[in-house]
Every structure is written in structure tokens, then in C-alpha cells.
Structure 1
Amino acid sequence: MTQAPVTPKALRRSHDREIIALAVPAFGALVAEPLFLMVDSAVVGHLGTPQLAGLSIAAALLMTAVSVFVFLAYATTAAVARRVGAGDLTAAIRQGMDGIWLAIILGAAVVAVTLPTAPWLVQLFGASDTAAPYAITYLKISSLGIPAMLIVLAATGVLRGLQDTRTPLYVAIGGFAANAILNVALVYGAGLGIAGSAWGTVIAQYAMAAAYLIVVVRGARRHRASLRPHRAGILASAQAGAPLLVRTLSLRAVLMIATAVAARLGDAEVAAHQIALSLWTLMAFALDAIAIAGQSIIGRYLGSGDAEGARRVCRRMVQWGIVSGVVLGLLVVISRPLFIPLFSNDPAVHDTLLPALLVIAFSQPIAGVVFVLDGVLMGAGDGPYLAWAMLATLAVFAPVALLVPSLGGGLTALWWAMTLMMTVRMATLWARTRSGRWIVTGATR
């Protein structure tokens, strides 16, 4: 008896179920670190304005340090997913362990640099005399948690590659709860002030890292994968992550240029820009969750040698990106009368922010395609192309954005420049996916 062929509709439904199963938990895990900082801000804010200002400066430095190493998650996801697709779970976990060892090495190096330079870094950010001591205290203590944060990134990549985004969600929820309880207990109960907030976060971060390591080590023992560091594997992980580091630094440069230009436009403009950027970042988390699903699924398909399956999933992911972008854009338009007053009572900020939000809403379908294709190419291990594409995008964006203050148009013009940046990214990523050069099958690229 012959088996009935699978219809295109059935394939789409199968892809949709898999995308949802991976993307929804991934979104929850993605917002964990911002929620950590929100809790810290809420607790420290009641200590006084200088303490909150110090926390803000230290948190910006810490988030920058950690975001630079996000390639630990992305590169590990792609490498592990390929080996899962090839049916070699032992090699997949061993590759993941090499990524975790790389995270430990990098984390130790960052701590070694941050501890002695903390006062200089705080001064570089222009902290006031009253805020600087609190910023230094928080930065020195919290930097001790950087190795744990990087372990979490790498281990998250391992589990995503193993097609598991639920465990990172559970760990994130547990870490968030522990951080909130520890912050209140140490800041107020123990009377440690801002130092208590930093220690609470560090403890929660190491608890999260321990939870991840327990899961990964159990998997390694079950599949008899080595836990020892392998020089060749660690170097391979670093080599795979280097292009993604270039991509991330280029993207950070775009955001820093945009903020610097907004600051030159005036106080109302930079305040409105910060609100707009916060909303844009929140929506980016939602779209990035779909991209993470793409990384995991594409890597597995290519690892199994199913090039046509990878193409089908890519097409479906693009459709998801467009629809998600349209929905997010409409939500921005509908909710803007409620959203804007939550952040400012200044009419000048309102007037400046409103047209910028409309530009952001318009750009969300473009952003949806960008995030999805970014995830597809990451899942394919096409890091070098992503690096060059982002450098090219930065080269286009920078002069346009820097001309905004002299040409006029204010914050709205700046966000049109951001839309241009996303359009250039979409064009470069679309050209790559259309070429098919990203499709390289096998357990390794």
C-alpha cells in the first residue's frame, strides 16, 4: 500500500506548528535580561536618584559587554542544529560544550579587564560625582556575573540547536523570580544598598548558569559526549563566531550613531528617540524569536541534507516575518494614544514622537523579513556574508544619519534613515537567499 503524498497545505501546517513551538518560548527567554534590569531599577530607584543614575550607567556598560558576545548563542545554535540534523547527537553536544568552554574563557577575560578599569569606564560615560561611586560599586560586583551570563548565552544556543526552547524559558522565569527576591532581601533586608542589588543579580545569574550546565551535562553523559575542553573545537567555535561578532558590532554602531544624532537634535528629540528605540527593541524581541526558530530549523534541515526542505521552511519563515511585522505595525498605530503618555507628560516630546512612531509602524514588515532572513542565514552558518552585509549597511546608514541635523526633518527624518538601514539589510539578505549560496548541506559547513 503506497503512502499518500504530503500536500503543500499539510507541509505549511507542519512548519507553522514547529515555528510556534520554538518561537513562543524563545520570546519569553529573550526578555529575561531586560526584565532583570527592570527589577534592579525598580528596587534601586527607591534608594535615591544618585543610586538609580549609577545603576543606569553600570547597566549600559554591562549590557554592551554581554551583547557583543551574543554570537555565543547564534553560532552554537547553528553548529549544534546541523549535527542534530545529521543524526549525531554526541557530536552535537560535544560541539555545544566547546561553545560553553569558549564562553568561560571569554567571561574570565572580560572580568579581568572590567574590574581594574571600572572607575575609568564610569568616568568615560560622564557619570556625575554623586552617581559615580554607585556606578563603580554596581559595575565591579556585577562584572563577576559576566562569565555566568556568557555561559547562559552559549548553553541557550546548545538547547536551541537541540530544538529545545522551553528549557531556556523555564530557566529564565526561575532566574527572574530569584533575582527579584534576592534584590529585595539584600537591598532592604540586609541593608546592602546598591551592592545588594548587584550581588542578588550575580547570584541569580550563576544559578541560571548552573541550571543550564546540569541539563547539558546530563545530555552529554546520556550520549557519552566528552565534557573536557578541546582546543580545536574551541577554536572552531571562535572562528564561527568571529563574523557574527563583526555583524553585532556593526549593528551596535548603527544604534549608537542614531542616539548620538538624536542628542544633537535637542532634549525633546533625544527623549522621544529613547522611547521610540525602547518600543523598537521590544518588537525586535518578538521578531527575533521567529528568527531563533529559523536558526534551529534551518540548521537541522541542512544537517540532514534536505536542501529543498530548507528552502520551503525559508519561504514559510518569510511569510511569518511579513505577517508578524504587519501585526506589530498596526499595534503601534492603534496603541500610540495610550503608549505615549506612559513615558512622558511633555507635549514637545509627544509632538516629536508621534510621527516617528508612524515611521516605525510602517517599517515593521521590512523588519520582519530582515529578522527572519538573518535567522535563516545564521542557521545556515553563513556568518561571513552576514558580516560583510552589515558593514555595507553601516556604510550606507552612517552618512545619511549624520546629515539629518543639517538637512532638517528632525527625529522623523532620523527614523526614516533607520528605515533605510533596514531596507538595505533586507535587500542584501534577500539577494543572498535568492542566490541559494547559503544552502550547504552536511553536519558541518
Structure 2
Amino acid sequence: MTGGIMMLLFTRFWGEWALSAFSGAKNAPMLSASNTYVQIRGLAWPAILVGWVAQSASLGMKDSWGPLKALAVASVINGIGDVVLCLFFGYGIAGAAWATMVSQVVAGFMMVEALKDKGYNGYAVAVPSANELLQIFKLAAPVFIMMMSKVAFYSLLVYFATSMGTQTVAAHQVLVQIYCMFAVGGEPLSQTAQSFMPELLYGAKRSLSKARRLLKSLLIIGASCGLILGAAGTIVPWLFPKIFSPDPQVIKEMHKVLLPFFIALCVATSTHSLEGTLLAGRDLRFISVSMSTIFSFGALLLMLFSNLGFGLPGCWWALALFQWSRFTVALLRLVSPNGVLYSEDMARYELGEVSTA
């Protein structure tokens, strides 16, 4: 809740400044519409962050039905809201923002309500002690670095694409949305690893051999789904680009990057299962160091490709290398003798006990 309120205030008072600094002078005409969208979406930040915590709690207790129902309802609200507000009332980007914001608030409340079925009061407010904050920090800080490295890299992609002009950034935004829609198919593999791996790695039913078999199954599923999702995601902008834009220049820019688009997308699902296993095994130092290192090299590569004039294809080849680097580094770590799937060292799991608030 605290983080959500801070994000809301930042969006309210510094959102326009951040957008202006990010988009540059070339895209000044987009600033007003972008700020309208961001200001409305920002109202949902507290509900989004609280909802994410509640969703993670449910998934950690192996309950996927509660979050599934919340996301299904939110999707319906968002879809109907977009149609009604944008098509019938003509609210444009503001209508799309309101529809998404309302759906996120509803999803947040439903995530919290789902905890009641498991005996938890999600509306209870308790200030954590210093010791509890320390234990949370030990877990959250490395994961935060990992997540921020990914978010920062995707933000850099948008930044460099934005500097190439309106039509290029339009093509990039279409591809990014398609990419995210198909790449999210690997997230259940990560959640499965995080839900079922802990008991096999350091629980009462500890069995490293079963953990390795589980990861093997997840990788096979991930590779199969990755190829299917990658092919499907590539076919859509290749054969049906006019669904997203009738502009021939935008379509041309989209078609330039279909190969790196496919290469990046097909490995995303497998990467989710590997990183989910590392999180379940609390190999947190490695996760944070490796992701920040890969981000640094990826950022340098983006700058190099941009300076060499590779255009939008340079951005997407950098993303493909970024994704395959994550996959390779995580896989090598897990199959190494010191990895969580082979090491008998139990010290890595001892972060102390956190009392229940």
C-alpha cells in the first residue's frame, strides 16, 4: 500500500516531467495524450501493488483459482470498458485508461477477497517491525534488482525506438504489445516452479532428484509452448498487420524485425521456468548480480546499435540477445554442481523466520 501511494504521488506530480524527458522533442505532440493516460492509470497504483501481493500469497499457497477469477473479471471489465468508452462515447485514450484503471482496482479487491477463503484478513493493517522489514528486505531486494533490470531494459528499448520518429515508435509499440501478450504464456511455468519447488528443495519432502525432474518437465513444456507462441506471435504482425495500423510505413517497420521478434519470443517461456526455479531455491545473490550484469551489457549493445544506425531491427536484435543471455546464464547455473538442484548446502535457505502479521 505504501509503495502504491508513493507511485500514485509520483505519477501525479512528476508524471508529465518524466514523460517529457523520456519522449524527447521529436514526440512533443504525443505528450498531452500520454500524460492523460498516465494520470488516469496512476490512480490504480495502490490497488495494483496490494493485488500483486495478494495474488502471490494465493499462488504460494497453491491456489490459482482465486487469482484466475480476479483476472478473468478484470479482463471482461477492461474489454467492455474499451468498447463502450472508446467506440461509443469517443473518449479515445482517456477511455482506454479509465477502463484499464477500473479493471485493475476491481482485480486488486478480488485478489484480497480470495485470501478470506484461506483464513486471512487482507484488510488488516499492521506496521512491520524492524526485524520483519530486514527479513523482507533480504528476500525482496535481490528480486527487486532482477525485476528493475528487466523493466529498465524494456524502457530503454522504448527510449531508443522513440528517438527514431513517430512511425517507428508506433511499429515498436505494436510489436511490444504482441510480444507481451504471448510472452506472458510462460509466467505460469515460473509460478509453478515457485509453488512446487520449495518443498522439493528445502521442505519436509526434500528431494533434489524430483526437483530436477520437475524442471525438466517445465523446460520441455516451455520449449514446446515457446515455439508455438513464437510462431503465432510472429504470424499475426506478418500476415495481418493492418489490424493494428493501415500506415504502410508502420507495417514496413514491423516487417523488418520479425526474425529477432520470433527469436526473442520463442525462448521467453523456458526462461520463466528457469528463473522461477532460481527464485524458489533462493539463489537470490546470483539472480540479482546476473540480471544487472546482463542489463548493463544489453544497454551498451543498444547504444552501439543505435549509434551504428541499425534502427528498429537493432533494438529487437538486442532484445533477442538479452533474452537468450538470461536463458543461458540461468540454465548454466542450475546444471552446475553448486546450483540449487545439486548442492546439499542448506545454508542458502536460512534467512530467518518472519512472524505473521
Per-residue deviation, residues 381-412 of structure 1 (Å, max 9, x unmatched): 22321111111112222222212234344333
What CA distance in whole angstroms lies between the structure 1 residues aligned with 2:163 and 2:29?
Answer: 24
Counterpart in 2 of 1:88? none
Query: 1:308-323 counterparts in 2 under 5 A?
Result: 308-323=209-224
Counterpart in 2 of 1:79? none
User: Which of 14, 25, 38 is 1:117 aligned to?
Assistant: 14
Aligned residues: percent identity? 24
Counterpart in 2 of 1:51? none
Query: 1:10-49 counterparts in 2 under 5 A?
Result: none
Counterpart in 2 of 1:296? 195
Structure of higher RCO (CA pairs closer than 8 Å, 6+ residues apart): 1
Counterpart in 2 of 1:413? 314
User: Which of 263, 280, 287 is 2:186 aligned to?
Assistant: 287
- Give the deviation of 1:138 after TM superposition: 5.9
Counterpart in 1 of 2:340? 438
Report the TM-score when normalising by structure 2: 0.78
- Give the deviation of 1:285 after TM superposition: 0.6
What CA distance in whole angstroms lies between the structure 1 residues aligned with 2:92 and 2:314?
Answer: 43
Equivalent residue pairs, number: 338
In 2 relative to 1, CA 234–317 (structure 1 residues): closer, same or farther, beyond 3 Å? same
Counterpart in 2 of 1:393? 294
- Alignment-mate amino acid for residue 241 of structure 2: I
- Alignment-mate amino acid for residue 188 of structure 2: A
What CA distance in whole angstroms lies between the structure 2 residues aligned with 1:427 and 1:295?
Answer: 20
- Give the deviation of 1:350 after TM superposition: 3.0
- Give the deviation of 1:335 after TM superposition: 4.3
Query: 1:298-377 counterparts in 2 under 5 A?
Result: 298-302=197-201, 303-304=203-204, 305-377=206-278
Which deviates the most, 135-144 or 384-393?
135-144
The answer to whether the Cα contact below 8 Å between 2:256 and 2:313 also exists between their aligned partners in 1 is yes
Which deviates the most, 205-214 or 425-434?
205-214
Query: 1:28-427 counterparts in 2 under 5 A?
Result: 104-121=1-18, 123-124=20-21, 132=32, 139-140=38-39, 142-178=41-77, 204-220=103-119, 228-231=126-129, 232-302=131-201, 303-304=203-204, 305-427=206-328
The answer to whether the Cα contact below 8 Å between 1:332 and 1:357 also exists between their aligned partners in 2 is no
In 2 relative to 1, CA 413–429 (structure 1 residues): closer, same or farther, beyond 3 Å? same
Report the TM-score when normalising by structure 1: 0.64
What CA distance in whole angstroms lies between the structure 1 residues aligned with 2:319 and 2:158?
Answer: 11
- Give the deviation of 1:355 after TM superposition: 3.9
The answer to whether the Cα contact below 8 Å between 1:265 and 1:405 also exists between their aligned partners in 2 is no
- Give the deviation of 1:122 after TM superposition: 5.2
Per-residue deviation, residues 40-81 of structure 1 (Å, max 9, x unmatched): xxxxxxxxxxxxxxxxxxxxxxxxxxxxxxxxxxxxxxxxxx
In 2 relative to 1, CA 144–353 (structure 1 residues): closer, same or farther, beyond 3 Å? closer
In 2 relative to 1, CA 347–172 (structure 1 residues): closer, same or farther, beyond 3 Å? same
Per-residue deviation, residues 135-182 of structure 1 (Å, max 9, x unmatched): 666655553431111111000100111111121110122234445667
The answer to whether the Cα contact below 8 Å between 2:67 and 2:114 also exists between their aligned partners in 1 is no
Partner-residue secondary structure (3-state), 2:7? helix
What CA distance in whole angstroms lies between the structure 1 residues aligned with 2:316 and 2:269?
Answer: 17
In 2 relative to 1, CA 180–299 (structure 1 residues): closer, same or farther, beyond 3 Å? same
- Alignment-mate amino acid for residue 107 of structure 1: G
Partner-residue secondary structure (3-state), 1:381? coil
5+ residue gaps in structure 1?
Answer: 1-103
The answer to whether the Cα contact below 8 Å between 2:186 and 2:269 also exists between their aligned partners in 1 is yes
What CA distance in whole angstroms lies between the structure 2 residues aligned with 1:371 and 1:300?
Answer: 19
What CA distance in whole angstroms lies between the structure 1 residues aligned with 2:68 and 2:134?
Answer: 29
- Alignment-mate amino acid for residue 356 of structure 1: V
What CA distance in whole angstroms lies between the structure 1 residues aligned with 2:180 and 2:208?
Answer: 33
In 2 relative to 1, CA 369–198 (structure 1 residues): closer, same or farther, beyond 3 Å? closer
In 2 relative to 1, CA 444–160 (structure 1 residues): closer, same or farther, beyond 3 Å? farther
Root-mean-square deviation over aligned CA pairs: 3.7
- Give the deviation of 1:184 after TM superposition: 8.3
- Give the deviation of 1:192 after TM superposition: 10
